Chains A and B, each alone.
Chain A
Amino acid sequence: EAQVTQNPRYLITVTGKKLTVTCSQNMNHEYMSWYRQDPGLGLRQIYYSMNVEVTDKGDVPEGYKVSRKEKRNFPLILESPSPNQTSLYFCASSSSGTDTQYFGPGTRLTVL
């Protein structure tokens, strides 16, 4: 089944404790992206990647890192999480930057 998977689905952590949210797709898509969804703000793009080893900043990249060492995986790293990063995070992929994005189920992160 074609899908985008994210882990974990729910995470509660404390300020400053490094964490990684994994994202994997099995559709051989070149384009992958991370978003955060906050009430009243919609989805805001954090980082995106056009292909392996090619990443670029979205609208809200501060406090986040990404890597794209393999085509299928695009982990989101929070080196030192803060409470303002409490949010719902979505990973998405598409066959190119112009095509339909397929979204993962979301990761709800709470930073205390």
Chain B
Amino acid sequence: AQSVSQHNHHVILSEAASLELGCNYSYGGTVNLFWYVQYPGQHLQLLLKYFSGDPLVKGIKGFEAEFIKSKFSFNLRKPSVQWSDTAEYFCAVKTSYDKVIFGPGTSLSVIP
């Protein structure tokens, strides 16, 4: 069955620490990949997306992600987190059948 897994359920970091959130998916066909963020009390919004081309994609607020096809992974990174990055982060995959599958989410808490 198609699925998306995220390595960490809850991550706690101090400000200025580096962040890497893991995401792996199981689907053998062509995929489009997304990271969404949900700040407390707000809608989900797009951080970045990958459709094709350069596997290293840059998003808003200094986030980037790398697509490694051989590992079915799309990990999210940020070199230096801020308190305002406290949120829940979701990895998502769109399959060639137009279904969208979300991961279970990673809750990030940044301590000032």
* Chain A residues proximal to chain B, CB less than 8 Å: 31, 33, 35, 40-45, 48, 50, 56, 58-59, 90, 92, 97-98, 100-101, 103-106
Q: Is B44 a contact partner of A90 (Cβ separation < 8 A)?
A: yes
* B13 close to A (CB within 8 Å): no
Stretch at the interface among B61-69, B76-84, B102-110: B102-110
Q: Given A40-B9, A97-B94 in contact, is the A103-B44 Cβ separation under 8 Å?
A: yes
* B25 close to A (CB within 8 Å): no
Name B99's contact: one of A48, A101, A105 (CB within 8 Å).
A48
Contacts of A59 in B (CB 8 A): 99, 101
Name A42's contact: one of B43, B45, B98, B103 (CB within 8 Å).
B103
* B100 close to A (CB within 8 Å): yes
A interface secondary structure, majority: strand
CA distance A9 to B44 in the complex (A): 15
Q: Using CB atoms, name the residue of chain A closest to B32.
A: A98
Q: Is B94 a contact partner of A98 (Cβ separation < 8 A)?
A: yes
* B74 close to A (CB within 8 Å): no
Contacts of B105 in A (CB 8 A): 42-43
Contacts of A90 in B (CB 8 A): 44
Expressed in whole angstroms, the minimum distance between the Cβ of B108 and any Cβ of chain A is: 15
CA distance A103 to B36 in the complex (A): 10
Contacts of B98 in A (CB 8 A): 31, 48, 50, 56, 97
Expressed in whole angstroms, the minimum distance between the Cβ of A30 and any Cβ of chain B is: 11
Q: Given A40-B9, A98-B51 in contact, is the A103-B45 Cβ separation under 8 Å?
A: yes
Name A44's contact: one of B9, B43, B44, B102 (CB within 8 Å).
B102
Q: Is B43 a contact partner of A43 (Cβ separation < 8 A)?
A: no
* B17 close to A (CB within 8 Å): no
Extra contacts besides A40-B104, A59-B101, A97-B98 (18): CB < 8 Å: A35-B102, A40-B9, A42-B102, A43-B90, A43-B105, A44-B102, A45-B100, A48-B98, A48-B100, A56-B98, A56-B99, A58-B99, A92-B44, A100-B34, A100-B49, A101-B36, A101-B44, A104-B43
Contacts of A43 in B (CB 8 A): 44, 90, 92, 102, 105
